[in-house]
Amino acid sequence: MRLLKILRDQGLGVTVHGFRSAFRDWVAEQTDYPGDVAEAALAHLFSNKVEAAYRRTDFLDKRRELLGARGVFCAATAVISHRLFRLSQRSIPGSRLVEA
């Protein structure tokens, strides 16, 4: 709910649908981290009450590593997206690229 509140407060007209799914897909396809670590990073509780009762770890170190890797991925993706946008602006006749 926190992310949704942040997005609403920004007035961007977007929602959180897909953030969790995109994260889980990235973990499954691009990393070797187990699903339990990904679920812990998403702050999901275990639906299996027996498993939840015996689970004694919060995967803190593994979550820290996983989220650090996600940060690197997101930063690299942002740089690539920015460069592609700049290239696309140059290839559109009549467009002007405004330097920030």
pLDDT, greater one: 24 or 94: 24
Task: Report the C-alpha gap between 93 and 51 in whole angstroms.
Answer: 60
* Segments making up each domain of the chain, as ranges: 2-91
Give the 3-state secondary structure of 25-74. HHHHHHCCCCHHHHHHHCCCCCCCHHHHHHCCCCCHHHHHHHHHHHHHHH
Task: Report the C-alpha gap between 31 and 34 in whole angstroms.
Answer: 9
Is 0.85 surpassed by the pTM of this model? no
Structure tokens at 24: 């889980």
Tell me the per-residue pLDDT of 34-74, one tens digit each, with 9 for 90 and over. Answer: 998 998 898 877 677 887 777 778 899 999 999 999 999 99
